[in-house]
Amino acid sequence: MPQTVLVTGGAGFIGSHTCVELLRSGHEVVVLDDHSNSSPESLDRVAKIAGRPLTAVHVADVRDRRALDAVFEDHPIDAVIHFAAKKAVGESVRIPLAYYDINVGGTTALVAAMHDHGVHRLVFSSSCSVYGDATAVPLDEESPTAPTNPYAATKWTCEQVLADVCRHVPELRVLALRYFNPAGAHPSGLLGEDPRGVPNNILPLLTQIAVGRRDELSVFGDDYPTPDGTGIRDYVHVVDVAEGHRTALD
């Protein structure tokens, strides 16, 4: 049945693709995004692809309780999909406190606002980085977690906070999705990954090299058990990730 869904970080790479899937499925979509690593234009493109507009866009920091309260007061939110977070491993090593403040603080502020306004369904965008240097593959939900950097640790911490709150607030229902390396773009060509500043992922770096914005791609590592010694990573298409979040909501 159609629902009104709040998508935090909805103008970002995965968030914008998820908004398309939600709109196409008949849901009403409210976005909260501070545009610190996204463009408002992406939401115009979301509406163009979906053929229908977003219900509302709120430009605000997810840690801002007054802004969150205003969103829940202005709209009959049924559920939340939470993407808003910082996500660069290297940056998290340089500014770990900022990552804990934004990622963990933003999540606790959001869940507190949800609880105060009687909203109890949340899909949380987590990360396979919580597994750390895994020795056994494939990974599953029972694989041991061992974060190796502040970014991964913030995602793991958020999962623990959410699990603990669920134990004490039985009406709260949360699904956390762990995934690696979303990549690609919408088939329309209107949405893709074009972060502000220097990209931290390989696909936007490659596209910037292809159009002449950068000269070369640096490849690190020459002793992996592969034909040329460079690393192999697993990727998942961003539209599949978006559909996964929509399905998790259902």
Which residues does the annotation mark as catalytic? 151
Rounded Cα distance, 189 and 239, in Å:
12
Which residue, among 115, 35, 40, 103, has the nearest Cα to 72 in the 3D structure? 115
Residues constituting the chain: 250
The SS3 assignment for 32 reads strand
- The b/e string for 73-100 (b: 16+ C-beta within 10 A; e otherwise) is eebebbbbbbbbbbbbeebbeeeeeebb
Residue linked to tokens 């390989």: 202
